[in-house]
Amino acid sequence: MNALTARLHAPLAAVIAALAVALLAAAPAAAAPVVDGEFDLSANPQRIALGPDGNMWVTLSAGNEIARIAPDGTVTEFDIASLTGARGIVAGPSGRLWVTIEGKLGHFDPADPVGTATTIAVPEVGQGDIAAGPDGNLWTPKVDKLVRVTPGGVATEFPILTNASRVAAGTDAIWVADFGGGEIVRVTTDGVPTRFAVGGSPQGVAVGAGGQVAYTNPGTNPHTVGRIAAGQILPTPVTPGVDPFGIALAADGAYWFAQPIGNNLGRLTPDGGYSELGGFSVEAGPRFVAAGPGNTLWVTLEGLNGNDAKKVARVSGLEPPQPPTPAQPISGTGAPRLAGLRLTPKRFRVARGRTPKAAARGRARAGTTIRFRLNAAATVRLTVQRRLAGRRSGGRCVAPRRARPGARRCVRFAAVGRLVRRDLAAGAQRVRFSGRIGRRALKPGRYRLTAVAVDSDGRRSAPRRAAFRVLSPR
């Protein structure tokens, strides 16, 4: 048995996915999240984790015990007899991957999985989830107990659960989804629990920033995901019947979770916003997720309706939030201020002539006057956007033709042009607007105007917005 069996998969889909990643990396703007590759395995994946070597590692349900997936999707499988029955997997002490096996704890060096695979007899360990704790120990649930195991195999049981499913490690504690008790439980490294009664049957748990924790709960009606922040339980309903399951914190600062029955992923922001991302093959059945290298997310696909998928998928484009730049300072640091933005009138027809370069007094029979106040001399940029109907897709509002059938309605704004008024003085300002951007007349419809003032040092005001409507010509 201890012979390496490597299978390097390079299907056309993987080649296309690799090209997609290269294009995303070269793009000047942040790419939207997208499922950009599905990669074949010899058996269904069970758990997935990011290894210390920058590859993803998966336990398999049959045949070869372990699979390694490189960032480009190349799959290598390992037949390791001593790790037969491996289920949970995590990067842990000594730079190794650690796995749970019924009655044993296994570990191996990612540089040589076959040659370094070792197991330790630990009767207290089952085939459960596993986390590397902040105390340097491994933590795994087994029915009604949470088990702490040292790297040397010394186990301590804490009978504090009802019937647990998943664990996640925070900076100072372990978090457990106890689906039998309908609780999310925070456990200190000494085994002291603090319980949060979320109800239902929570399945997954993930630790976020600032002490926040998120969980999935397919046992409620309707199904929910939720957050625990400052001791408060904050549930969020999801699409009915999607069965939210495995969850992880991703590079974009949001929690992503598998929705097997929905055959998609859900996304929960730290402030409770919910959206979905599709793009998997038919009946793929996403089940567990893990953050990967290069702002990616990796998803195990187990199949639906009795059909094994035997794949892992990659999601790219999860860009981290960008901090303010010196050219876009946080409000209150000396940036110019623009206030009182309005259009008089707010409903108007397009005038025949072009918008003049300078403000003009008086009202015209067509066109409008943009009014605002400046606290200091600045150049003002006036961006015009048209209000349009859209549909929700992957957390964004897109044109209806780009969304899946039945997607929720939303409102989107499409930029149509910009006016710039340079070197305006402090005080009240009036800018005549004919309803034209250059020679191009705005079409009848609803619009939004966004005004930003920029001073000579490049500091910007907070944006101000005002709505207006262009009427049909008489």
**Could you state, in order of their start, the residue ranges of all structural domains in the chain?**
12-316, 338-470
pLDDT at position 377 is 92
Counting Cβ atoms within 10 Å, is residue 93 exposed (0-12), middle (13-18) or buried (19+)?
middle
| CATH code at 338-470 | 2.60.40.4070
For tokens 């300072």, the residue is: 329
* 405 or 159, which is more confident: 159
Question: Comparing 231-245, 357-371, 374-388, 453-467, which segment has the lowest mean pLDDT?
Answer: 357-371
Amino acid 201: pLDDT: 95
pLDDT in tens, 227-242: 999 999 999 999 999 9
Q: Which pLDDT does position 458 carry in this prediction?
A: 84
**Separation of alpha carbons 16 and 314, rounded Å:** 12
The pLDDT > 70 percentage for the chain reads 88
Residue with tokens 């457990």: 176
Write out the H or E segment, with its range, that includes residue 20. helix 12-26
Q: How far is CA 250 from the centre of its chain?
A: 5
Q: Report phi then psi at 276, rounded to 5.
A: -130, 155
Please check whether residue 105 is in contact with residue 85, taking contact to mean a CB–CB distance below 8 angstroms: no
Higher pLDDT, 331 or 437: 437
281-316 pLDDT, tens digit each: 999 999 999 999 999 999 999 999 888 999 999 999
Q: Reply yes or no on domain 12-316 having CATH 2.130.10.10.
A: yes
Residue 27 has pLDDT above 70, yes or no: no
Q: What residues form DSSP beta bridges with 236?
A: 225
Q: What's residue 360's pLDDT?
A: 41
Under the banding of pLDDT at 50, 70 and 90, the label for residue 365 is low
Between 366 and 5, the higher pLDDT residue: 366
- The model's confidence at residue 53, banded by pLDDT at 50, 70 and 90, is very high
pLDDT of residue 323: 67
Residue 262, CA atoms < 13 Å, CB-side half-sphere? 23
Does 21 have pLDDT greater than 60? no
Mean pLDDT for the stretch of residues 400-424:
86
pLDDT of residue 357 exceeding 90, the answer is: no
pLDDT of residue 355: 55
Task: For strands 232-237 and 104-108, give the pairing.
Answer: unpaired
pLDDT tens digits, 269-283: 999 999 999 999 999
- DSSP 8-state code for residue 408: P
> Which pLDDT band, with edges at 50, 70 and 90, does 354 fall under?
low
Identify whether the C-beta of residue 70 lies closer than 8 Å to the C-beta of residue 16: no
Q: Can you name the residues that pair with 43 across neighbouring β-strands?
A: none
10 Å Cβ neighbour count for 414? 12
Q: What is the mean pLDDT of residues 36-41?
A: 97
Check: pTM over 0.85? Answer yes or no: no
Within 228-366, where are the H helices?
Answer: none
Please report the pLDDT score of residue 335 as a whole number.
85
Mean pLDDT for all residues in the chain: 88
* Residue 33 to residue 118: CA distance in whole angstroms: 38
- Residue 353: the pLDDT is 65
Backbone angles phi, psi at 422, to 5 degrees: -90, 145
DSSP secondary structure letter of residue 460: B
Name, in order, each residue with C-beta under 8 angstroms of 360's C-beta and a sequence gap of 6 or more.
432
Each residue of 83-129: pLDDT tens digit?
A: 999 999 999 999 999 999 999 999 999 999 999 999 999 999 999 99
Say if residue 333's pLDDT is above 70: no
Closest CA to 148 of 134, 416, 162, 392: 134
- pLDDT value of position 447: 94
**Banded pLDDT at 224 (limits 50, 70, 90):** very high
Task: Return the pLDDT at 362.
Answer: 41
Please report the pLDDT score of residue 17 as a whole number. Answer: 39
- Distance, in Å, from the CA atom of 417 to the CA atom of 434, rounded to the nearest integer, reads 13
Does pLDDT of 324 surpass 50? yes
What one-character DSSP code corresponds to residue 461?
A: P
